[in-house]
Amino acid sequence: MSRTSRNRLCRSLRGAAVLSAGGAFRAWGLALNRNQTAARRTVARAAPLRIATRADLMETSVQPARALRGSPTAPGDKSISHRAAILSSIAEGTAVIENFQNGADCRATLSCLRLLGVPWRWLEADTVEISGVGLAGLSEPPNVLDCRNSGTTMRMLAGLLAAQPFLSVLSGDASLRSRPMGRVIEPLRRMGADIRARDHNSLAPPVICGGSLVGIEYDMPVASAQVKSSLLLAGLYARGETTVREPSPSRDHTELMLQAMGADITSTNGVATIRRQQRGLKPLSLRVPGDISAAAFWLVAGAAHPEAQITLSSVGVNPRRTGILDALRAMGADIDIRNERLSGPEPVADIDVHSSTLTGTRIGGDMIPRLIDEIPLIALAASQAHGETVIQDAAELRVKESDRIRTTVRELRRLGVDITELPDGLSIKGPTRLRGGRVSSHGDHRLAMMLGVAALLARESTTISNSQAVSVSYPRFWEDLKALSGP
Ligand code: S3P
């Protein structure tokens, strides 16, 4: 990269890091005795939360927090936002999606849809209007579709594009190009799709020569909402009936949204059946619930910090996503769920969390798909809990944006956590007083945010490298952390 373009990139990153402005971003220091029953607290020197930028990386230093109080607004749910964008694109008419998650992943989905000929525009910062082109209205993209870091974009679009009468190629960043795609390509090929990909059809970029498909019955080897959704999208177009059976039920946002839009779909206990769509899909305007996977960072911060009271409003509480609430409650967390209601087809509620004395627990089996994205965070909570926590049946974590079993172990160990890697999970013994220091996100958004929460609980300052990764799903994360912990 030339010096001028490096400087330009550096300047724009600095501009994006609102937090760097003159050290205005403050988190007050506190040294904590982690024995929660007899917490001896000494107020440490207040220091600014520092953001430094290099040409390609940003690092964030976070001071321990004296107290955590406030009501952060979780961004719109990432999974629901992807689905709202994709399904609205093939509906008959216009839908307005409020509280659309505007992180990099969902923006990647919107950019791909534009290349497929779908008109959409922002009405406000987080409200997008999508003019559906109907089931047969997509057009051949003039370029490779760049899914960036987003597995949901690539896998769901693969299913939709397998049924379109044109050629498309889906690609993404280095992380996405190393993640398994055979899990969608193989069943889509069984439906008659013409798809080729690297490494014996297992790695992106997939090249899709779309065409007519036939419905299949498919027993999924692993529970995956992305794979299920991909096959259901293909099933909308396939002759006959498509049935997908999961080993454990995963999130069902696609099924709920398709039902609300008039698709011929049934779904019970991990078995979903869809029939070819004869009539157009009705457009569905909705307000996307707050993302429980983002709210989870503040739930763990609130439960594990000895001086905390946090309220989260309008968070999605679809039972296929609330494993984190069950796990934290099983650990003794003081969590109240109030004011349950519906937002479109999805349940939402307000959630309060207070400082709690946590104890270890066991997590595995059917619970795993209900909290798959929250496991690094549960490992952090477990490090503050009395006794041992064992998480099993979670080998899927190895093929996320990073190998989250390995990266969680590596980074929490650096903070002093007694944590062991299992082939399909983690074992953690607590409580441990986190020591602070230098850690890395490995470019994984959920690792960056988990380490940000760990930093609030630590004895000394923690510097998280590659901290800009949060922009994938929670661009305001560092500002919200500041607001919760600042005086
Ligand atoms: C998602 C499903 C899960 C989850 C991911 C989002 C979705 O992945 O980890 O963050 O939106 O369908 P898998 O389908 O691979 O389990």
Domain boundaries, given as residue ranges, for the chain: 49-75+289-485, 78-287
Pocket flag, ligand 1, residue 225 (CB < 6 Å): yes
- Are 305 and 358 in contact, with CB atoms under 8 Å apart? no
In tens, the pLDDT along 276-317 reads 999 999 999 999 999 999 999 999 999 999 999 999 999 999
Pocket flag, ligand 1, residue 252 (CB < 6 Å): no
Question: Which residue owns the Cα nearest ligand 1 atom 11?
Answer: 79
Same fold, 49-75+289-485 and 78-287: yes
Pocket flag, ligand 1, residue 224 (CB < 6 Å): yes
Cα 327 to ligand 1 centroid, rounded to whole Å: 19
Least confident of 36-40, 48-52, 74-78, 216-220: 36-40
Pocket flag, ligand 1, residue 373 (CB < 6 Å): yes
Pocket flag, ligand 1, residue 79 (CB < 6 Å): yes
CA-CA distance, 173 to 330, in Å (whole number)? 38
Question: Which residue owns the Cα nearest ligand 1 atom 9?
Answer: 373
Q: Is the pLDDT of residue 94 over 60?
A: yes
- Are 58 and 82 in contact, with CB atoms under 8 Å apart? no
Pocket flag, ligand 1, residue 152 (CB < 6 Å): yes
CA-CA distance, 281 to 260, in Å (whole number)? 9
- Are 362 and 333 in contact, with CB atoms under 8 Å apart? no
Residues constituting the chain: 487
Calculate mean pLDDT across residues 74-85: 98
Q: Which ligand 1 atom sits nearest the alpha carbon of residue 156? A: 12
Pocket flag, ligand 1, residue 318 (CB < 6 Å): no
The pLDDT score that the predictor gives to residue 51 is 61
Alpha-helical (H) ranges within 216-345 are 225-237, 253-260, 292-304, 323-330
The residue whose two tokens read 């008659």 is 192
Cα 46 to ligand 1 centroid, rounded to whole Å: 39
Question: Which residue owns the Cα nearest ligand 1 atom 16?
Answer: 224
Catalytic residues: 373
The pLDDT score that the predictor gives to residue 46 is 42
In tens, the pLDDT along 447-456 reads 999 999 999 9
Calculate mean pLDDT across residues 320-346: 98
The pLDDT score that the predictor gives to residue 53 is 56
CB proximity list for 353: less than 8 A, separation 6 or greater: 298, 299, 302, 303, 308, 309, 310, 312, 333, 334, 335, 336
The pLDDT score that the predictor gives to residue 56 is 57
Least confident of 43-57, 197-211, 224-238, 395-409: 43-57
Cα 284 to ligand 1 centroid, rounded to whole Å: 22
In tens, the pLDDT along 391-437 reads 999 999 999 999 999 999 999 999 999 999 999 999 999 999 999 99
**Domain 78-287 sits in CATH 3.30.70.260:** no
The pLDDT score that the predictor gives to residue 39 is 30
The pLDDT score that the predictor gives to residue 190 is 98
The pLDDT score that the predictor gives to residue 34 is 27
Task: Name the CATH topology of 49-75+289-485.
Answer: UDP-n-acetylglucosamine1-carboxyvinyl-transferase; Chain (3.65.10)
Around Cβ 398, how many Cβ atoms within 10 Å?
14
Residue type, 145: L
Cα 224 to ligand 1 centroid, rounded to whole Å: 6
CB proximity list for 350: less than 8 A, separation 6 or greater: 311, 312, 313, 314, 315, 337, 338, 339
The residue whose two tokens read 């889509």 is 188
With pLDDT > 90 as the criterion, what percentage of the chain qualifies?
88
Choice from 224, 366, 399, 472 to test ligand 1 binding pocket (greatest atom count within 8 A of CB): 224
Closest by Cα among 197, 246, 243 to 220: 246
The pLDDT score that the predictor gives to residue 15 is 29
Q: Is the pLDDT of residue 134 over 80?
A: yes
The pLDDT score that the predictor gives to residue 275 is 98
Question: How would residue 144 be classed by pLDDT, with cut points 50, 70 and 90?
Answer: very high
Pocket flag, ligand 1, residue 427 (CB < 6 Å): no
Question: Which residue owns the Cα nearest ligand 1 atom 13?
Answer: 224
The pLDDT score that the predictor gives to residue 110 is 98
Strand partners, 308: 68
Least confident of 7-21, 88-102, 350-364: 7-21
The model's pTM is: 0.91
- Are 290 and 339 in contact, with CB atoms under 8 Å apart? no
Choice from 226, 288, 373, 405 to test ligand 1 binding pocket (greatest atom count within 8 A of CB): 226
- Are 234 and 242 in contact, with CB atoms under 8 Å apart? yes
Choice from 77, 79, 371 to test ligand 1 binding pocket (greatest atom count within 8 A of CB): 79
What's the Cα-to-Cα distance from 456 to each of 64, 253, 359, 391, rounded to whole Å?
Answer: 4, 33, 20, 24
The residue whose two tokens read 């013409």 is 194
